[in-house]
Amino acid sequence: MSFRNRFRFEHQIAALVGLLCLALVGATVTGAVWLERRSALALAEARLARLAAGMAESLDATLRERFREIQVLAGLEPLRERWGGDPTAIRGVLSAIRTTAPDYAWLGFVAPDGRVRVGTEGMLEGLAMTGRAWFETGLTRPNVGDVHEASLLNRLLVRAEPEPLRLVDLAAPVRDPAGHVIGVLGGHLSWDWAIRVRRRFLDEGLSGTDLWVLDRRGRVILGPHLGATPFGPGRVGAMVEQGSGRFAAAIGGETLLAGFASAAKGERSEIAGGDPGLGWLVVATRPEAQVLAPVRRSVEALMGLGAAVAMIGVALALCLGRRAAAPLRRMTAAADRIGRDADATTLPRLDGSREFVALSAALRSLLRRIGTAERELNDVAARSTRVAAFYRRQIEDLRQVAGTDALTGLLNRRGFAAPAEDAFAQARSGRCGIAVLVVDIDHFKHVNDQNGHDAGDAVIRHVGALLAEAVRSTDTVARFGGEEFVVLLVGLGGPEAALIAERLCAAVRAAEIPHAGGTIPVTVSIGVATLSPRDPDIQAAIARADAALYEAKARGRDRISVAATAEAVERAA
């Protein structure tokens, strides 16, 4: 009896040692790998955020300094009497400024009629600047324009950079002693300054690091792939809102770690009146694979050590349990033959300890019952699976047909009800705001009359696709019938909803809808309304948006109209 008891105890000890060894080694290796990987990623993201912040601050500092120079120079008392005098004297002053600040590609004084009266090195003198944003705005207030490619100076200046000349326009009004505007002082700041800043910061960064500057719409204005939009509107909006931070994103098939900071974000100049507010974003990126390369070598060494310890523990467990498990091995071999050989239908009788004898008898009896039950269960399971699959397909097809618009593939009025009710419940609980857009295609009857109903269907499908692509995945687009669509925006207020509506108008206006070898121009009018705490349901907000839509139609179409809130209507009444 003592032998049998010792035999069973050895089997338990062998299993326990093996499991504990594997669990401890696995947990230790996994934890160490996770901690080291997390530490490396956090350190890299923090370094990228500092790099982006440093470049943003450098761009800000130069832009603020140049902007302040233009305003100071335009307002200098000693020059008030000389702007309308000898151009040579003014040209000398501007040339001196350009000598001390070579980032300027050009400085010039433009008369109120738009003619360049004085320009550095005589460039652009006599040319008309009317219609240019920097000049027209500069007649009333100081301003800074966004980056653009030079059209006139590109042919006049010799540059070391291979890229086309790009400029940032600065301007300020020049006034006489009586305070009347007598012209505009303009400066074209060469974008080469930003290129040099980027190179300097790249030289300070680690291998594989890249720096991008994005405009407020997320387009690359400095860095590789100029004009590209590497991030979606949601990501760009989050970066603008946060101002600085870090994130990881999949771009071009690889995961990039990124740190970002806002530049030219509109801090008001100390010299009266200026506010650049260009909304640039500086993004520093580095491939995650390069960041984790040093970690990978440590992980390999740690995995090797863990594997060796685990193998030793498993070998020890096997040695301890081998002799104890001999009867079970015989039972297992017999059971394996039953699974492989159809003629093998029974298990052997084990001898030795009473537990093994009882186990073999119980298993033999159980095996007989399992065979019968398994055949019955397989038949029932097969029938149940076929029936359940059939009904699932039928239910899903019916639900899809009932809630989907056949022409556009969008939700119809019935399908819109469920997400609208969910959003209304969230708004009632105070978790988010809700905005509703009612979109109607302008002059749709004219499209049908001129081009036929096939063209009308093509227009509806195209507009529906544009609306679905332009909103976020959390938003809902539905066709309510005819040429009318409803867009449910979750988590947005009135100003944000109006911006999205303007963007939708512009997207439809710019779309070219092909039909019969040509294109059909289409515009939409949009009514915007936000959910009020006084609204009994979402239909109240839709009704206000619908009323705002008719107001947009009445004001000429191809525009948006924002409905007053229920509280504002009540106060007005």
pLDDT tier, 308 (very low <50, low <70, confident <90, very high otherwise): confident
Average pLDDT over residues 210-220: 91
Amino acid at 455: A
pLDDT tier, 369 (very low <50, low <70, confident <90, very high otherwise): confident
State residue 270's pLDDT score. 40
Q: What is the pLDDT of residues 499-533, one digit of tens each?
A: 999 999 999 999 888 887 788 899 999 999 998 88
- Beta bridge partners, 170, equal 144, 187
pLDDT tier, 323 (very low <50, low <70, confident <90, very high otherwise): low
State residue 545's pLDDT score. 93
State residue 440's pLDDT score. 95
Say which range, 84-98, 268-282, 329-343, has the weakest mean pLDDT. Answer: 268-282
Average pLDDT over residues 39-58: 91
Q: What is the pLDDT of residues 142-152, one digit of tens each?
A: 999 889 888 88
Average pLDDT over residues 35-51: 89
State residue 3's pLDDT score. 45
Say which range, 34-38, 127-131, 486-490, has the weakest mean pLDDT. Answer: 34-38
Q: Is there a contact between 187 and 262 (Cβ–Cβ < 8 Å)?
A: no
Q: Is there a contact between 145 and 66 (Cβ–Cβ < 8 Å)?
A: no
State residue 273's pLDDT score. 42
State residue 353's pLDDT score. 62
Domain boundaries, the chain: 1-320, 327-388, 413-572
pLDDT tier, 350 (very low <50, low <70, confident <90, very high otherwise): low
pLDDT > 90? residue 185? yes
pLDDT > 50? residue 110? yes
Chain mean pLDDT for the chain: 82
State residue 89's pLDDT score. 85
Q: Is there a contact between 416 and 487 (Cβ–Cβ < 8 Å)?
A: no
Average pLDDT over residues 429-456: 89
Going from the C-alpha of 91 to that of each of 94, 186, 190, the distances in angstroms are 5, 13, 19
Single out the residue of 474, 453, 448, 477 nearest to residue 465, CA to CA. 477
Instruction: Classify the C-alpha dihedral 318-324-328-329 as positive or negative.
Output: positive
* Strands annotated E in 191-334: 210-214, 220-222, 244-251, 254-263, 280-287
pLDDT tier, 251 (very low <50, low <70, confident <90, very high otherwise): confident
Say which range, 36-50, 178-192, 295-309, has the weakest mean pLDDT. Answer: 295-309
Going from the C-alpha of 489 to that of each of 231, 325, 470, 492, 509, the distances in angstroms are 21, 65, 12, 6, 21
Nearest 10 degrees: CA dihedral of 188, 192, 194, 198?
180
Provide the 8-state DSSP code for 561: E
Average pLDDT over residues 292-300: 77
pLDDT tier, 282 (very low <50, low <70, confident <90, very high otherwise): very high
pLDDT tier, 486 (very low <50, low <70, confident <90, very high otherwise): very high
* Strands annotated E in 152-278: 166-175, 181-190, 210-214, 220-222, 244-251, 254-263
CATH no. for 1-320: 3.30.450.20
Q: What is the pLDDT of residues 71-90, one digit of tens each?
A: 999 888 888 878 878 888 88
Q: What share of the chain is helix, strand, coil (3-state, %, to 5)?
A: 55, 20, 25
Range list of H helices, 511-560: 538-554
pLDDT > 80? residue 260? yes
Say which range, 8-22, 289-303, 439-453, has the weakest mean pLDDT. Answer: 8-22
pLDDT > 60? residue 9? no
In this prediction the pTM is: 0.51
Average pLDDT over residues 366-395: 70
Say which range, 63-77, 244-258, 261-275, has the weakest mean pLDDT. Answer: 261-275
* Tokens matching residue 509: 């206006």
Share of the chain above pLDDT 70, in %: 81
Provide the 8-state DSSP code for 161: S
Overall fold of domain 413-572: Alpha-Beta Plaits (3.30.70)
Residue with tokens 């990501």: 235
pLDDT > 80? residue 272? no
